[in-house]
Structure 1
């Protein structure tokens, strides 16, 4: 439901409340298919709106603070910077959110699934665009027209069973019922129609109308939530969670979209790491199996026994036979009834010298057999370990368990050497560029704060409570949303995790000093305190 008309309807209303009367600060793009619109609210606070283009997994979300574009990132549509926002509205009959500016321009977010785009419109024409700008520039901007806005039309249908029946009867009866409902319910998509049919107790107009009314009023006064069932990606919904669902509910659609985006980003981040780890494990397993199979047809113990037998046979034949070329034929002393044995020999050596050579080779092969046994035992043990890691990776049914498996399954070789240089802390991705590091115990806390953190990294710790030191890398003090999220996690990793609200110290690491008098404690020279609700990552 990320780009559903009703999701965007509520999001536009909430954005209007926060932004109307404020200013558009700048627009830039630092990630492929992602636009960041930076605003200053009427209260003087910085708010960013991040819009994802051409991705079914994201739509839009907000974050507080000012995250300026990097040096090499060009601004977009700079002609409208620092223009006042006079209003934010959704098109009455389309998935388009318009930001009206005081100079006559309108910034339009066209949220059409894969065709999401940002357009700059003036006097009914497109003057610029984020995607396909050359193709769209100076073309007419066609606002979707409707005799009655979607919400009003649906409200009329909800209040009038006769009107609902009339529209249903007028629809093409040769078409499937879901298609007829889709054509007569403006703003409804196929998922909503399927939901309607699923909860309807029959297909009579009265039963369909009753189900429609229930859905419409849920959409009109939504209770957005993010469903986080184990083993499944997070899902955003405007409806209350179903019985059995693990979900977090919100009063604001924007807050729910923000939470969903964080969870989806983490889900994708962990999944990418899991795919990489699965590929590494499969490659290692294949390599070990290949080594085992390569030695399957060669038994050094068997070769050793043969060489020792040849040595004894040659010793027993000394003085009785002489080598003929590269072989010698000797009686089988071990079995008189058996035929003579043909033994390869080295030319230039007599029987005694060839016997000695075979005894030496037997000893070497015996040592090789012992080494091979040890190596095979090592290979099988390593294979068992790798297969167990692969099984645990497949069985991980929650982000927490997957995180544990990924941390436990750190790769060897070059990456292992790199990890030896960097203490292993618990890591939580806050955004694509910002990561939270969490200490695991007292010694790990000290390594994190005084060995790993850089002076400008952000340091967090629950105030007045024991708990993990936390370091936020990739963020500045202006990244208010990311810092608050990190503070919520820091509060959870403390003895105040069950409090309704917990104070969390937030400062840059350069203001943290060791307390020489009390080992394990720190001296904080400058701090801010955030009151947050402890939340798991």
Structure 2
């Protein structure tokens, strides 16, 4: 429901409350198909509106604070910077959100599934566009119109069962019911129609009407939530969650979209890592299986026994046979009555020297056999280890289990082989949580790990977080500055969860730069903080 008309309807109303009479600070793009509109609200707070185009996983969400642009940032539509926002509204009959500016321009967010775009419009003409600017520039901007706005038309149907019946009967009865409902219910998409039919006990008009009324009032006064079921990507919904589902509800649609976007970003990030890890593990498994198969046809132990037998046979033939050629044939003393044995000889050596040479080769082959036996055991152990890692990845249903599986699997696939025989397998030293595409939170696992994270891993300008007055994990936020208030808030919520105060309603969390920390040599595990800020947050799991 990310680009559903009703989601955008409520999002536009909430954005109007936040942005009206504020100022458009700047517009830029740092990621492909992602657009950031930075605003200063009427209260003087910085707020970013992030819009994603050509992606089924995101639509729009907000982030508090001022985002520092990186080198690859492209500034867009600079002519409307620092203009006042006079209002935010959605088209009454289309998925287009307009941000009106005081100079007559309007920024129009076209939230169509495959053609999401942002247009700069003035006097009914497209002046600029985020995507396909050359194609759209100076073309007329046609806003979809309707005799009755979507919500008003639906409200009329919901309050008048006779009108609902008449509209349904006016449709062609040969057309499937879902298509007729799609045509008569403005703003409804295929998902909403499927939901309507799913909760209808029969095709009777009265049943359809009752189900429609229930859905309409849920859409008019939504319960936005984010659903997180194990093994499935997070999902955004305007409807109350099912009792058996795992869902978090929110008071506003924008808050729910923000939470959904964070969860979806993390889900996609972990899935991408999982795909890369599966590819790496599969390649390593194939390489080890190939090595095992190649070694299967080579048996140094058998060669060692043959060479030792040749040495004994040559020793027994000394004085009885003279070596005149490249080989000698001697009786098989180990199996009387069996055919004679032909033994290759080293030119220039007598029988005694050839026997000594075969004994030496037998000794070398025994060593090779022992090394090969050990290597095969190591290869089988490695294969079992890698296959277990692959199985753990495949079985990880929840995001947390996938995170744990990736942390375990990200270590080296070879544990004790070749040149790495004496090297221990490296485990990720800290728990990592992506907060955004550029910002990562690192969490200590225990007291020793906390000290390593803070005083061995963190750089002077990295942000350090810890629950105040409670024991817990040290947390380091990399890629962020004190301006990234939204990301810091999220990191503080996670830091509070990883403390002994996790069950409190609100937890004070210290935030400072690592350069303002010193070791407390009197009390191991403690730090001395020279400068700090304290945030009151609700503990939330990552």
For residues 276 and 74 of structure 2, the distance between their equivalents in structure 1, rounded to whole angstroms, comes to: 33
Name the SS of the counterpart of 2:291 in structure 1: helix
Q: Rate the CA distance shift 1:302–1:93 in 2: closer, same or farther, 3 A.
A: same
Which residue of structure 2 aligns with residue 535 of structure 1?
Answer: 540
Which residue of structure 2 aligns with residue 209 of structure 1?
Answer: 209
The answer to whether the 8 Å contact 1:92/1:150 transfers is yes
For residues 427 and 388 of structure 2, the distance between their equivalents in structure 1, rounded to whole angstroms, comes to: 26
Query: What whole-Å deviation, never above 9, does each CA across 1:267-306 have from its counterpart, x for those lacking one?
Result: 1111111111111111111111111110101111111111
Does residue 1:426 correspond to 2:431, yes or no? yes
Name the SS of the counterpart of 2:404 in structure 1: helix
Q: Rate the CA distance shift 1:306–1:420 in 2: closer, same or farther, 3 A.
A: closer
Given candidates 511, 518, 522, the residue that maps to 2:527 is 522
For residues 457 and 331 of structure 1, the distance between their equivalents in structure 2, rounded to whole angstroms, comes to: 82
Which residue of structure 2 aligns with residue 98 of structure 1?
Answer: 98
Q: Rate the CA distance shift 1:333–1:519 in 2: closer, same or farther, 3 A.
A: closer
Q: Rate the CA distance shift 1:142–1:285 in 2: closer, same or farther, 3 A.
A: same
Which residue of structure 1 aligns with residue 509 of structure 2?
Answer: 504
For residues 2 and 388 of structure 1, the distance between their equivalents in structure 2, rounded to whole angstroms, comes to: 38
Which residue of structure 2 aligns with residue 445 of structure 1?
Answer: 450
Name the SS of the counterpart of 1:363 in structure 2: helix
1:74 Cα shift?
Answer: 2.9
Alignment of 1:264-303 (within 5 A): 264-303=264-303
Which residue of structure 1 aligns with residue 15 of structure 2?
Answer: 15
Which residue of structure 1 aligns with residue 417 of structure 2?
Answer: none
The answer to whether the 8 Å contact 2:410/2:427 transfers is no
Name the SS of the counterpart of 1:114 in structure 2: coil
Which residue of structure 1 aligns with residue 6 of structure 2?
Answer: 6
Which residue of structure 1 aligns with residue 401 of structure 2?
Answer: 401
Structure 1 unaligned spans of 5+ = none
Alignment of 1:459-470 (within 5 A): 459-470=464-475
Q: TM-score, normalised by structure 2?
A: 0.96
Query: What whole-Å deviation, never above 9, does each CA across 1:311-332 have from its counterpart, x for those lacking one?
Result: 1222222222233422211112
1:71 Cα shift?
Answer: 4.1
1:230 Cα shift?
Answer: 1.1
Name the SS of the counterpart of 1:309 in structure 2: helix
Query: What whole-Å deviation, never above 9, does each CA across 1:98-130 have from its counterpart, x for those lacking one?
Result: 001111111000011121000001111100000
The answer to whether the 8 Å contact 2:445/2:473 transfers is yes
Q: TM-score, normalised by structure 1?
A: 0.97
Which residue of structure 1 aligns with residue 261 of structure 2?
Answer: 261
For residues 297 and 426 of structure 2, the distance between their equivalents in structure 1, rounded to whole angstroms, comes to: 42
For residues 72 and 279 of structure 1, the distance between their equivalents in structure 2, rounded to whole angstroms, comes to: 30
1:503 Cα shift?
Answer: 0.8
Name the SS of the counterpart of 2:403 in structure 1: helix
Which residue of structure 1 aligns with residue 492 of structure 2?
Answer: 487
Name the SS of the counterpart of 1:108 in structure 2: strand
Query: What whole-Å deviation, never above 9, does each CA across 1:420-451 have from its counterpart, x for those lacking one?
Result: 99981111110000111111122221222222
For residues 473 and 53 of structure 2, the distance between their equivalents in structure 1, rounded to whole angstroms, comes to: 38
Which residue of structure 2 aligns with residue 74 of structure 1?
Answer: 74
The answer to whether the 8 Å contact 1:423/1:447 transfers is no
What's the Cα RMSD here? 1.9
Which residue of structure 2 aligns with residue 314 of structure 1?
Answer: 314
Structure 2 unaligned spans of 5+ = 415-419
Alignment of 1:172-187 (within 5 A): 172-187=172-187
For residues 339 and 506 of structure 1, the distance between their equivalents in structure 2, rounded to whole angstroms, comes to: 88
Name the SS of the counterpart of 1:535 in structure 2: coil
Q: Rate the CA distance shift 1:420–1:119 in 2: closer, same or farther, 3 A.
A: farther
For residues 245 and 504 of structure 1, the distance between their equivalents in structure 2, rounded to whole angstroms, comes to: 31
Which residue of structure 2 aligns with residue 160 of structure 1?
Answer: 160
For residues 294 and 104 of structure 1, the distance between their equivalents in structure 2, rounded to whole angstroms, comes to: 75
Q: Rate the CA distance shift 1:527–1:535 in 2: closer, same or farther, 3 A.
A: same
For residues 209 and 325 of structure 1, the distance between their equivalents in structure 2, rounded to whole angstroms, comes to: 105
Between stretches 208-217 and 328-337, larger displacement belongs to 328-337
Name the SS of the counterpart of 1:84 in structure 2: strand
Alignment of 1:2-151 (within 5 A): 2-151=2-151
Q: Rate the CA distance shift 1:261–1:21 in 2: closer, same or farther, 3 A.
A: same
1:69 Cα shift?
Answer: 2.0
The answer to whether the 8 Å contact 1:423/1:448 transfers is no
Query: What whole-Å deviation, never above 9, does each CA across 1:188-242 have from its counterpart, x for those lacking one?
Result: 1101111111100111111111111111111111001111111111111111112
Name the SS of the counterpart of 1:339 in structure 2: coil
Which residue of structure 1 aligns with residue 199 of structure 2?
Answer: 199
For residues 330 and 421 of structure 1, the distance between their equivalents in structure 2, rounded to whole angstroms, comes to: 58
Query: What whole-Å deviation, never above 9, does each CA across 1:7-54 have from its counterpart, x for those lacking one?
Result: 100100000011111111000000000000000111110000000010
Which residue of structure 2 aligns with residue 231 of structure 1?
Answer: 231
1:526 Cα shift?
Answer: 1.9
1:343 Cα shift?
Answer: 1.6
For residues 509 and 89 of structure 2, the distance between their equivalents in structure 1, rounded to whole angstroms, comes to: 37
Which residue of structure 2 aligns with residue 221 of structure 1?
Answer: 221
For residues 235 and 298 of structure 1, the distance between their equivalents in structure 2, rounded to whole angstroms, comes to: 56
For residues 339 and 298 of structure 1, the distance between their equivalents in structure 2, rounded to whole angstroms, comes to: 26
Alignment of 1:370-385 (within 5 A): 370-385=370-385
The answer to whether the 8 Å contact 2:412/2:426 transfers is no
Q: How many equivalent pairs are there?
A: 536
